[in-house]
Amino acid sequence: MTGADARSAERSAKAPLLELRHVSKAFPGVRALDDVSLEIRGGEVHMLLGENGAGKSSLIKVLCGAYRPDGGEFLHLGQHLAIASPADARRLGIAVIFQEFSLVPFLDLAQNIFLGREPRHRGSPLVDRGRMHREAAGILASLGLDYDTHALAVDLGVAQQQMVEIAKALSQQARILVMDEPTAALSDRETDALFKVIRQLRASGVAIVYISHRLNEVFELGDRITVLRDGRRVAGMAVADATPEQLIGLMVGRAVGTVYARRHFATPGEPALEVRGLRTATGVDGVDLTVRRGEIVGLSGLVGAGRTEVARAVFGADPIAGGEVRVFGTRVDGGPERIAARGVALIPENRKHEGLALKRSTQDNLLAASLWKLFPRGGYRARRAVDRARELIARLRITPAEPRRHARVLSGGNQQKVVIGKWLAAGCSLYIFDEPTRGIDVGAKSEIFALIEELVTQGAAVLLISSELAEIVHVCDRAYVMRGGRVRGELARSELSEEAILRLAMHGT
Amino acid sequence: MSGLRERALAAEAAPRERWRHRVGSENVALAFRIGLIAAIGIVLALSTDAFLSTANLLNVLRQASLMFLLASGLTLVIVAGGFDLSIAANLTLSACLAAAAIKSGSPWLGAAIALGSSVAVGVLNGFAVTLLRLPPFLATYAMLWILQGLAFHYMGGLEIYGFPAAFRALGTGFLLGIPVPVYLMGVVLLAATLFTRATNFGQELYTIGANRDAARLSGIPVGKRLLLVYVVSGLMAGIAALVFLARVNAADSGMGEPLLLPVIAAVLIGGTSLFGGVGSVLGTALGATILAMVINGMNLLDIKAQWQPLVVGVVLLAAVLADLMGRGRRERIG
C-alpha cells in the first residue's frame, strides 16, 4: 500500500457524515446565517460556540429541516441532497434534542420512545406492547440505564427525560445527534452521567453536535469547535489547538448595528434599588445589587442566568423566597400593584405577552398604569384620556400617531415605546428594562437608548438587562454579571468590555 | 428582525384598520346589531299582523329585559376574561330563599335575603377564582351544582306561590304604559355603561380581559377587580331573581335553569368575546333584544317549539361570524 492509498483510505473513513457548504438564511432585516460551512463527522463531538444571536439556533433549524436555507448545499457521505423538511432530516438520521423536551407527559417511557412508530402485532393494527417495552428497555440498557419503561414521562426528572429523548432518537437510528445546551438544567452528577452516554455514543460512531455556553465542557468533551458570530463562521479548529481566551476573543465583537453612544455620565445619587441576598423559587440564588439615581446599571449574563427572574422578583411578579428588596430606602414586598405604586417600572422581556394588551388601543395601553394618577377620583374621561395619550405619542414619537390604533398592528419598536410610555405616564423613577431592544430595528434601538439616557439625566435610576454585550458595554455606567442564579462579578465602567463580561458569564474560565 | 416584518404586516392591515379605528370597532359592531334589529323588525312586520302591535312590542322588550338583567353581570365577567356559569342557579336559590318572606308580606326582607344570598355567592365565586386560582369555568360550574343542590334541599320539591300584588308589580306592572322591568333594564344599562366607559375600574376590566399578565405587570390589582365583577354578577342574579319571582308569581327549584343558555346566547349575540377584553353591556342589551325578537317572531309565525333552539343557534353563529369577518384576519388569529 502506498502512502497516497493510506491517506485516501483514512479520508474515506473520516469522510464527513454530513457537510454543509456556504449555507445562508436571511429574514427581513437580518442575515441569520451567512455563508456558513460545517463538517459533521461520525465519532466526533462537534462543539458549536457563539454568543446569543450568533446563529446557532438558526443553524440547528436548518439541520433539522425546520428552516429552508436561501442558499448553499448539503452533502451526506459525499452525496448532494437537500433537507427540505423535518422528514428529510429524520431520514438522514438527524435528531435534535431541544432544551424544551417533547415527551408526552402522561404516556409511559416505551410509548414516548416509539410514539407514532409503535411496533404492531403481525398482520394487525394492534400495538405489540410487550415488544415495545422490550425494545425500549433494550435501547435504554444500551445507554447503561435501567429505567422502568412503564413509568410516566411526567414523573421523570429533567436529566431522565433527556436520556429518554436520547433513547428516542437512537430508536429512530439517529446518526447525528444535535444537543442544545443539554447541561443547562442538570446537576454535576447528572452532567457526568450525560457525558458518559455521549462518550459511549461517540465511540459507536454517532456524530454529536453540541451547543454549550460552558467552556469547561468544550474542553472536557469536545473534539472540534466551530465558532459563529453574526451568522458567520468565524473559526473552526480542533479542541486541542484552542484556548479559552482565544475562544472568548472569537465570540465577542459582534457588529450590533449602530451601538448607541452615551452622551453624559453623571455622579450617581441616592440608592434607588437595593437588593440583598435575594432568592426565589425560580432560580435566583442569593443576589446583591444596588442601583442609584442617575445611573444605568447593566445586568448581564447568558440566557438562563437568572436575570429576568431577578427583575420579576423585584417587581413583585414572582414571590421572594429570601432576602430583601429596598426601593428608595423602604423595604418593599407584595405584588406588582404595590411595587409599581412606589414608582418602579418593569419593561418586560416579552412585550407582546406581558407588556401590552394587543387587543386594546395604543391609548388604552399607554394609560394602563396611570389611570388613577390621571383620574384620582376614579372617573374616566375619554376626552382627557385622548389628550394625555397624544402627549405621550408625541413625546415618544410613536407612529402611527393615532391613539385609537390597535397595539397589535404597531411595529416592534413602536410597541416597545408604548410599553415605556405606559410607565413614563405613571411618573416612575426606577425603571427595569428586560431586553428592551429585542426584535427591534436599529433606528428604534437608538431611540430607545436615547430615551433611557434621558430618564437617568432627569434623575431616574435604570437597571438594564441585555444579552447584547455591546449594549451593556456602551450604554451602562457599570454592570453586574450573573451566572447560575448568582452575581459573579461587578464591572466598573473602566473595566467594562465584552471579554470581561463573557469571562464572568461563562463556566470554567 | 421582527421589526421589519411587523411593519409590513401593519402596512397590509392598514386600510381596513384606518376606517375602523376612525369609527371605532366597538361602534361598528353595535351599529351592525342595531341594523340586525331593524331588519328582523321589518321582516316580522311584513310577515305577521301581530308583531307591530304595542302590546307585542312591549312584551318583546319585557322578555329582553328579564334576560338582560342576568346577562349584564355575565357580560362584565366575560369582558374581564372570566366566566360565570352559576348565575341561573344563583337566581334560583335567591328566589327560593326570599319567597317565604315575600309571601308573608315582608317584600323588603325578601329583597334583602335575595340580594344578600346572591352577593354572597358572587363573593365565593370571586374567591374561588382569585385566591384558589381555579379556572372560572370550573369554579362557577361547581357552584352551579352546589346552589342547585341547596335549592332542591330547601324547597323539598314544593313550590311557594301567590305573592302580594304590590310585589308582583315589579315583574308585571306598567308605569306610563311601559313594563316595570323595562325601566330596570334602562337603569342597569345606564349604570353599567357608565361603569365601563366612565370609570377607571371599567377600563381596567377591559385590560385585564385583554391580557391578564400585562394588566398585572401594569400594576392593576387584578384579583380585587375580578372579585368585584363576580360580586356584581351575583348582585345582578339577585335583582333578576326578584323580578322573575314577581313575574311568574311562584318559586321552585327549577325556575332558573332554563335561563342559563339563552342568557349566554344574549351576551354572545351582543358581540362580547369569550376570550375577554372585547364587548359591552349595550351590545348585550341589543343581543337580548335580538334574541327576544327572534323567539317572539317564531311564535307569531307558528314555528314549532322544537325548531326554536336551532334558529337561535343559527342567529348566534351568524352574529359571531359577522364580527370575525368585520374584525379581519389578523385579529381572528390572535
Q: Using H for helix, E for strand and C for coil, what is the string for A292-335?
A: ECCCEEEEEECCCCCHHHHHHHHCCCCCCCEEEEEECCEEECCC
Alpha-carbon span B312 to A340, nearest angstrom: 47
Specify the pLDDT at position B18: 54
Q: Is B3 inside a domain boundary? A: no
Amino acid at the residue B111? A
Say if the Cβ atoms of A371 and B203 lie within 8 Å: yes
Decide if B278 touches A, using CB distance below 8 A. yes
Specify the pLDDT at position A258: 54
Among A360, A361, A441, the residue to mutate for chain B (most B Cβ within 10 A): A360
Among the partner residues B1, B4, B210, nearest to A359 by beta-carbon distance: B210
Alpha-carbon span A414 to A448, nearest angstrom: 10
Decide if B331 touches A, using CB distance below 8 A. yes
Q: Which of residues 170-209 of B touch A (CB under 8 A)?
A: 197-204, 206-207
The residue-averaged pLDDT of B183-204 equals 96
**Which residues of chain A have a CB within 8 Å of the CB of B213?**
353-354
User: Would strands A478-483 and A296-301 be described as parallel, antiparallel, or unpaired?
Assistant: parallel
Task: Name the residue with cell 366575560.
Answer: B78
Alpha-carbon span A489 to A389, nearest angstrom: 41
Alpha-carbon span B18 to B4, nearest angstrom: 20
Decide if B105 touches A, using CB distance below 8 A. no
The residue-averaged pLDDT of B86-114 equals 94
How far is the CA of A509 from the CAs of A107, A251, A472, in angstroms?
A: 41, 14, 20
Q: What is the mean pLDDT of chain B?
A: 89
Q: At B22, is the pLDDT very low, low, confident or very high (cuts 50, 70, 90)?
A: low
**Taking phi first (over 0 means left), then psi (-120 to 50 degrees means alpha), and beta for anything else, what does residue A428 get?**
beta
Say if the Cβ atoms of A380 and B202 lie within 8 Å: yes
CA dihedral B151, B155, B157, B160 (to 10 degrees): -120
Say if the Cβ atoms of A364 and B206 lie within 8 Å: yes
Domain ranges in chain A? 15-103+156-251, 257-343+429-509, 354-427
User: How many domains is chain B partitioned into structurally?
Assistant: 1
Specify the pLDDT at position A11: 44
Q: At B329, is the pLDDT very low, low, confident or very high (cuts 50, 70, 90)?
A: very low
Say if the Cβ atoms of B217 and A358 lie within 8 Å: no
For chain B, state the CA radius of gyration.
Answer: 21
| pLDDT at residue A90 greater than cutoff 80 | yes
Same CATH topology for A15-103+156-251 and A257-343+429-509?
yes
Specify the pLDDT at position B328: 53
Q: At B24, is the pLDDT very low, low, confident or very high (cuts 50, 70, 90)?
A: low
Q: Is B11 inside a domain boundary? A: no
Among A8-22, A358-372, A415-429, B130-144, which is the least confidently predicted range? A8-22
A233 vs chain B: nearest CA distance in angstroms? 20
B287-306 pLDDT, tens digit each: 999 999 999 999 999 888 88
Q: Is B36 inside a domain boundary? A: yes
Phi, psi of B178 (to 5 degrees): -120, 140
**Which residues of chain A have a CB within 8 Å of the CB of B197?**
380, 382
Decide if B79 touches A, using CB distance below 8 A. no
Say if the Cβ atoms of B3 and A381 lie within 8 Å: no
Specify the pLDDT at position B332: 39
Q: Residue B14's closest chain A neighbor by CA? A: A409
| pLDDT at residue A2 greater than cutoff 50 | no
A148-165 pLDDT, tens digit each: 999 999 888 888 898 999
**Which residues of chain B have a CB within 8 Å of the CB of A346?**
217
Say if the Cβ atoms of B217 and A354 lie within 8 Å: yes
Q: Which of residues 27-56 of B touch A (CB under 8 A)?
A: none
Under 8 Å between Cβ of A474 and A262: yes
Specify the pLDDT at position A10: 45
Among the partner residues B17, B213, B330, nearest to A354 by beta-carbon distance: B213
Say if the Cβ atoms of A346 and B217 lie within 8 Å: yes
A415 vs chain B: nearest CA distance in angstroms? 10
Domain that holds residue B34: 29-40+51-322
Say if the Cβ atoms of A359 and B215 lie within 8 Å: no
Specify the pLDDT at position A146: 87
Alpha-carbon span B137 to B139, nearest angstrom: 6
Amino acid at the residue A173? Q
Among the partner residues B3, B210, B330, nearest to A440 by beta-carbon distance: B3
Among A312, A364, A370, A411, the residue to mutate for chain B (most B Cβ within 10 A): A411
Specify the pLDDT at position B157: 84
Say if the Cβ atoms of B17 and A406 lie within 8 Å: yes
ipTM of the complex, rounded to two decimals: 0.86
A234-277 pLDDT, tens digit each: 999 999 999 888 888 888 876 555 567 788 888 899 999 999 99
The residue among A202 and A15 whose pLDDT is bigger is A202
Q: Is B158 inside a domain boundary? A: yes
Among A33-42, A77-86, A320-329, B103-112, which is the least confidently predicted range? A77-86
Say if the Cβ atoms of A354 and B214 lie within 8 Å: yes
Q: What is the mean pLDDT of chain A?
A: 89
| pLDDT at residue B11 greater than cutoff 60 | no
Among the partner residues A336, A382, A410, nearest to B219 by beta-carbon distance: A336
Say if the Cβ atoms of A380 and B197 lie within 8 Å: yes
Specify the pLDDT at position B20: 55
**Taking phi first (over 0 means left), then psi (-120 to 50 degrees means alpha), and beta for anything else, what does residue B162 get?**
left
Specify the pLDDT at position B6: 47
Among the partner residues A30, A382, A415, nearest to B1 by beta-carbon distance: A30
Instruction: Say which DSSP state A255 is in.
Output: -
For chain A, state the CA radius of gyration.
Answer: 26
Total residue count of chain A as it appears in this document: 509
**Which residues of chain A have a CB within 8 Å of the CB of B202?**
380
**Which residues of chain B have a CB within 8 Å of the CB of A376?**
none
Specify the pLDDT at position A40: 93
Percent of chain A whose predicted confidence (pLDDT) is above 70: 95
**Which residues of chain B have a CB within 8 Å of the CB of A369?**
218-220
**Which residues of chain A have a CB within 8 Å of the CB of B326?**
none
The residue-averaged pLDDT of A168-178 equals 91
| pLDDT at residue A31 greater than cutoff 50 | yes
Helix or strand (DSSP H, E) at A60: helix A56-63
B226 vs chain A: nearest CA distance in angstroms? 14
Among the partner residues A346, A369, A378, nearest to B201 by beta-carbon distance: A378
Q: At A6, is the pLDDT very low, low, confident or very high (cuts 50, 70, 90)?
A: very low
Among B217, B222, B332, B333, the residue to mutate for chain A (most A Cβ within 10 A): B217
B221 vs chain A: nearest CA distance in angstroms? 6
Q: Is B190 inside a domain boundary? A: yes
Cell numbers at B248, concatenated? 311568574
Class of the domain covering A257-343+429-509: alpha beta
Q: What CATH number matches the domain at A15-103+156-251, 3.40.50.300, 3.40.50.920, 3.30.930.10, 3.30.420.40?
A: 3.40.50.300
Among the partner residues A372, A406, A444, nearest to B3 by beta-carbon distance: A444
What is the SS3 assignment for B223-277?
Answer: HHHHHHHHHHHHHHHHHHHHHHHHHHCEECCCCCHHHHHHHHHHHHHCCCCCCCC
Q: What's B93's domain CATH number?
A: 1.10.3470
Specify the pLDDT at position B191: 97
A368 vs chain B: nearest CA distance in angstroms? 6
Q: Residue A359's closest chain B neighbor by CA? A: B210
Among B61-75, B77-91, B320-334, which is the least confidently predicted range? B320-334
B6 vs chain A: nearest CA distance in angstroms? 5
What is the SS3 assignment for A345-386?
Answer: EEECCCHHHHHCCCCCEHHHHHCCCCHHHHCCCCECCHHHHH
Among the partner residues A371, A372, A412, nearest to B2 by beta-carbon distance: A412
